[in-house]
Amino acid sequence: MSIESEISRLLDVMPASGRMLTKIVSQPQQSKVIDAPFTPPWKWNNRPIYINFDLWRRLSRGQRDLLVLRATSSLIAIKWFKPDVYQGIVLAGVIGLTVEGIQGDGLGMLVAGGLSAIAANHIWRNNRSVQREIDADEAAIKVAVRRGYTDVEAAKNLLEGIEVTAQLEGRSNLNFTELIRTQHLKAMANLSPVGVPDRVKMNE
């Protein structure tokens, strides 16, 4: 497998929005097989997906497809500027901070800055919640179905990809979020009758 041909193939697998917003980068020194780090708002159109191709080549094609689709879905789902009450509070806080700064009101600056920080923290946590992780898995499966996979095949490939990735990275156990995701994927792949309760999905 050449890195260039694999990157080209993965770009073809991605949805158009993924090709526009993300970039696949070879990262042979990283311990993770694939890493799609959380993107700050000032990098909205430059969201890297780092892949260690020495480890990547040990995955099956289906596993690779679903893992890259999952990474892409996770990155393009990050919404820093989707209009809602918290984005409104951040904006109001920034405006208030600017106004109070011009007026030299220290207390006003403290209040405005505090409101902005609280709202921004909520947006950050919401973008990293268990529900968002599961949503990214489901979005990847939907794209995979458009690429010729069945729902069950896609869920199974993503499930196996998560498990094999942990082994390749030398991890003996999955973390909490991965355990929740794999249980949800087992239900989607008809490998388990037990799904994930909503109260667990909403854990942040």
Q: pLDDT digit string (tens) for 4-16?
A: 999 999 999 999 9
Is residue 122 situated within a structural domain? no
Number of domains comprising the chain: 1
pLDDT at 9: 96
pLDDT at 144: 97
Residue 42: pLDDT band with limits 50, 70, 90: low
Q: CA 151 to CA 142: how far, in whole Å?
A: 8
pLDDT tens per residue across span 75-111: 987 665 554 444 455 445 555 545 545 655 555 555 5
Is residue 147 situated within a structural domain? yes
Is residue 91 situated within a structural domain? no
Long-range contacts of 25-34 (CB under 8 A, 24+ apart): 25/49, 25/50, 25/51, 26/50, 26/51, 26/53, 27/51, 27/52, 28/52, 28/53, 28/54, 31/169, 31/170, 32/165, 32/169, 33/59, 33/67, 33/165, 33/168, 33/169, 34/67, 34/68, 34/71, 34/165
Q: Residue 57: which domain range?
A: 3-79+128-201
pLDDT above 90: residue 60: yes
Q: CA 158 to CA 182: how far, in whole Å?
A: 9
Task: Please state, rounded to an integer, the average pLDDT across all residues of the chain.
Answer: 81
Residue 1: pLDDT band with limits 50, 70, 90: confident
Is residue 96 situated within a structural domain? no
Better pLDDT: 143 or 119: 143
